[in-house]
């Protein structure tokens, strides 16, 4: 009897332990440590997270506000769960429900979706993971067995900085698109190479940071480098300052700081471009975002501070910015305009009417809306002096190019502007009146999104519904079931067939690329007749996939002819598995593949303008603007391959033939899937010599470790070819003694300050001499013999775009080594 009672008590205790203790253990741990193998799941049924020792911060999946099925791996205040201070991925990696986060020994933190595909991982340095740790400052750290840091969230800030966090030179904090959209927005907080701490806008399309800052600390000193800033420190007391090289601090916050022992602190670059320092009492439960108070925010009036000639301003194009009492901007479309994206009130506005045509007679049925204290200071195309307001209005109304006229009474000047309008602002300090041209047809102010179609008579709708129900219920139950089943099966069959036609083959669930049969590709290429080119791995043919006219498209089919060895077959499989998850606007996208007996084929999107080689070395020289854009595009693509894709990739064969051009002449890197992959637990790899004569880095021939710097070398050669529109090695010039190797010639011309000799009197490029000189200097850094002296592709991209200064390169090239070895 006692034994039975003991057994019952044991099972009761075990049940209570399972019911209470284990869920608490899943929520968090007392010491902040996370063991290798620990995991978290993205699910609404359990709220699992890892806690810091004090319980101040939590690390785990957060269910996004607008979706019950998408989750964001993030760090937040455990007592203020609405305040997220860090999240995985620059643009916020969205994990579907059922995804899992695991701390692994080789790769650190890894998020897998329910199918096992890798969505994100922490790019740690070399070494095995011992454990993870979420400390009480909100920093998640991955450590090795020597307690060394392999990765930490503080090194990858998103839109928020926390006390004890430090920003080094070239550090960047980016805003979100909106409060609930964690994709990177249009605003950046940066510590520049010259020591200036600035706020600026940047292009979401080109990743280009605009040079005009709308707020800055002025901690750069061109006359005395020791007086320039080099680090931004947010200390444990809640003070933030720029530290100059001479040790002097430039304080960013007032002296009367809120004590950090009693309050949480954070500095956040808000989605509207305002940088604000916040505080919130620590002794709260169930806190929320509304409990945060502002210590300071900059700039004072962002609507007036953003005045660059490029970009739309604080709000989108054609929008008007107005500052509120809280120093936060609001945006509103002018009369006759509505939001391009109804969900983005800070975005651009479009006219709700047909724009003026110069073919129309008179004013074309337009009138002028008068907007006081309103201005769009850019977009001018004409200035009329000694005008009054009436003359200004009439001039715009009768000018088919004019979208708005801004009249300034103090100067009696009329400025006429075209769409799109940028930097729109309304403020009492703006001494201007805008006359906006709109259609004479009035719009409904209560419906800025445009006219709504008339509602049908609700009684009529109800009659139709009643009639339909009566017909269905009037028949037998069996007939109704049969009818509904038939309709459902028909819809399913039709959609499935259409989807299959559109895809042109099955979709591989592992990598989201299409699996074609050999017969399908044979038919698509008309028996492999039209050859596009040949390479080391096979021949490329032009084809067309899709069974109906609306889904047909051209493709490039690469027929691999070297699959006899296991190594080549392994490279093929690696490309399919990895490149299916690799997407960038400067990479050629893999559409599908074929793996059938001995046949191995890859299907890529078709690039209508061929290779960069044909574009650069053809009969006509491309414009300097096009060449600049192509050079920057290739650099961004390589930067993505080296640092931003899930599995870092070394291309190993960068050359003009492997850079293709799409219909808009955008540069797209190809063949990167056939390169040697840099494994997740390695920082370098050694393999057989690969590449093309004239582009191969010297370390290939010296039995030295091969790193991503081999691509940097090849890019340096390619950059000079783009600048000069000539090949690095010219067969004709090899017969002479001088100028045979472009890299050597470029170094000589740079040293002697005779870049005009390098470009053969290219007037367009020489007119842009500062950029030309910068590009040549970057190229010379890239082709340094010592790989450690070459910059990373991240740095190359920044130097090309003028974000960071380019130092004078040492005189050292080794093209001869690469060619003759």
Q: Ramachandran region of residue 820, left (φ > 0), alpha (ψ -120 to 50) or beta?
A: alpha
Active-site residue, 382 included: no
Long-range contacts: 727-730, Cβ < 8 Å, 24+? 727/617, 727/694, 728/694, 728/695, 728/815, 729/693, 729/694, 729/815, 729/819
Q: Is 75 helix (H, G, I), strand (E, B) or coil?
A: strand
CB 371 within 8 A of CB 436: yes
Q: Is the peptide bond before 777 cis (omega within 30 degrees of 0)?
A: no
End-to-end CA distance of the chain: 89
Closest CA to 251 of 265, 238, 269, 266: 238
Contacts of 417 (CB under 8 A, 6+ apart): 376, 378, 379, 380, 381, 402, 403, 404, 405, 406
Contacts of 596 (CB under 8 A, 6+ apart): 517, 518
> DSSP of 464-507, one letter per residue?
HHHHHHHHHHHS-HHHHHHHHHHHHHHHHHHHHHHHHHHHTSEE
| Rg of the chain in Å (alpha carbons) | 31
CB 651 within 8 A of CB 569: no
The C-alpha angle with vertex 416 and arms to 411 and 419, in degrees rounded to 5, equals: 140
Containing H/E element for 577? helix 566-579
CB 813 within 8 A of CB 790: no
Closest CA to 670 of 681, 649, 654, 687: 654
Alpha-carbon span 204 to 174, nearest angstrom = 11
Q: Which amino acids are annotated as binding site, given as ranges?
A: 559
Q: What are residue 334's phi and psi, to 5 degrees?
A: -70, 165
Containing H/E element for 152? strand 149-152
Where does 622-741 show beta strands of DSSP type E?
659-661, 667-669
Alpha-carbon span 366 to 418, nearest angstrom = 15
Q: How many CA atoms lie within 13 A of 671 on its CB side?
A: 24
The catalytic position among 375, 653, 671, 711 is 653
> Catalytic positions, please?
653
């Amino acid at each position: 009897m006692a034994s039975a009672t003991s057994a019952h008590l044991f099972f009761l205790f075990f049940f209570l332990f399972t019911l209470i203790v284990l869920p608490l253990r899943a929520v968090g741990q007392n010491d902040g440590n996370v063991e290798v193998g620990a995991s978290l799941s993205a699910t609404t049924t359990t709220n699992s997270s890892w806690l810091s020792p004090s319980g101040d911060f939590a690390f785990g999946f957060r269910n996004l506000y607008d979706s019950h099925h998408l989750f964001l791996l993030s760090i937040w205040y455990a007592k203020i769960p609405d305040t997220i201070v860090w999240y995985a991925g620059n643009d916020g990696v969205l994990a579907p429900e059922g995804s899992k986060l695991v701390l692994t020994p080789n790769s650190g933190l890894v998020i897998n979706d329910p199918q096992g595909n890798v969505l994100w991982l922490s790019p740690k340095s070399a070494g095995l993971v011992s454990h993870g740790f979420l400390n009480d400052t909100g920093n998640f750290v991955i450590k090795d067995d020597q307690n060394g840091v392999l990765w930490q969230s503080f090194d990858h800030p998103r839109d928020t900085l926390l006390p004890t966090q430090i920003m080094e030179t070239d550090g960047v904090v980016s805003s979100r698109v909106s409060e609930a959209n964690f994709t990177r927005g249009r605003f950046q907080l940066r510590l520049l190479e010259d020591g200036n701490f600035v706020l600026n806008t940047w292009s979401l399309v080109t990743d280009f940071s605009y040079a005009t800052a709308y707020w800055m600390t002025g901690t750069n000193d061109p006359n005395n480098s020791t007086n320039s800033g080099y680090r931004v420190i947010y200390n444990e007391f809640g003070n933030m300052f720029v530290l100059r090289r001479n040790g002097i601090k430039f304080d960013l916050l007032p002296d009367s700081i809120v004590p950090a022992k009693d309050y949480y602190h954070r500095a956040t670059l808000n989605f509207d471009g305002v940088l604000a320092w916040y505080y919130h009492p620590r002794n709260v439960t169930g806190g929320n975002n509304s409990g945060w108070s502002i210590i300071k925010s900059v700039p004072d009036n962002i609507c007036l501070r953003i005045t660059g000639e490029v970009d739309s301003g604080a709000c989108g194009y054609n929008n008007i910015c107005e500052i509120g009492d809280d120093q936060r901007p609001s945006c509103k479309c002018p009369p006759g305009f509505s939001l391009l994206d109804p969900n983005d009130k800070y975005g651009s506005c479009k006219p709700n009417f047909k724009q003026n045509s110069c073919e129309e007679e008179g004013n074309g049925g337009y009138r002028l809306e008068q907007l006081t204290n309103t201005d769009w200071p850019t977009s001018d195309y004409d200035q009329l002096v000694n005008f009054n307001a009436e003359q200004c209005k009439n001039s715009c109304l009768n000018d088919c190019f004019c979208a708005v006229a801004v009249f300034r009474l103090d100067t009696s000047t009329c400025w006429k502007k075209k769409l799109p309008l940028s930097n729109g602002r309304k403020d009492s300090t703006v001494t201007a009146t805008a006359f906006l041209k709109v259609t004479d047809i009035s719009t409904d102010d209560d419906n800025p999104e445009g006219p709504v179609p008339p509602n049908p008579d609700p009684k009529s709708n109800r009659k139709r519904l009643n009639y339909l129900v009566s017909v269905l219920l009037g028949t037998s139950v069996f007939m109704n079931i049969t009818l509904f089943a038939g309709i459902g099966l028909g819809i399913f069959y039709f959609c499935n067939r259409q989807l299959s036609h559109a895809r042109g083959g099955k979709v591989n669930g592992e990598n989201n690329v299409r699996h074609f049969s050999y017969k399908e590709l044979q038919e698509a290429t008309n028996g492999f007749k039209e050859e596009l080119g040949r390479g080391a791995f096979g021949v490329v043919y032009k084809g067309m996939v899709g069974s109906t006219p609306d889904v047909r498209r051209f493709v490039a089919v690469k027929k691999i002819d070297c699959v006899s060895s296991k190594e080549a077959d392994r490279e093929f499989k690696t490309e399919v598995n990895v490149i299916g998850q690799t997407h960038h606007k400067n990479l050629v996208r893999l559409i599908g593949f074929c793996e059938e007996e001995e046949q191995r084929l890859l299907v890529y999107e078709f690039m209508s303008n061929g290779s960069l080689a044909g574009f650069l070395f053809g009969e006509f020289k491309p414009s300097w603007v096009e060449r600049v854009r192509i050079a920057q595009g290739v650099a961004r693509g390589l930067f993505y391959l080296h640092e931003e894709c899930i599995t870092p990739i070394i291309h190993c064969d960068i050359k003009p033939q492997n850079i293709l051009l799409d219909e808009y002449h955008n540069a797209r890197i190809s063949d990167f899937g056939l390169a040697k992959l840099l494994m997740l637990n390695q920082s370098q790899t050694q393999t057989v010599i690969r590449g093309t004569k004239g582009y191969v880095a010297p370390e290939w021939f010296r039995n030295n470790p091969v790193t991503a710097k081999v691509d940097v070398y090849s890019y340096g050669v390619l950059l000079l070819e783009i600048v000069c529109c000539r090949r690095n090695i010219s067969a004709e010039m090899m017969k002479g003694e001088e100028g045979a190797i472009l890299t050597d010639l470029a170094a000589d011309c740079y040293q002697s300050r005779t870049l005009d000799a390098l470009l053969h009197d290219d007037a367009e490029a020489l007119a842009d001499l500062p950029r030309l000189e910068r590009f040549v200097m970057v190229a010379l850094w890239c082709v340094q013999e010592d790989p450690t002296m070459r910059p990373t592709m991240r740095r190359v991209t920044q130097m090309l775009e003028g974000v960071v200064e380019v130092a004078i390169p040492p005189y050292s090239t080794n093209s001869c080594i690469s060619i003759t070895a």
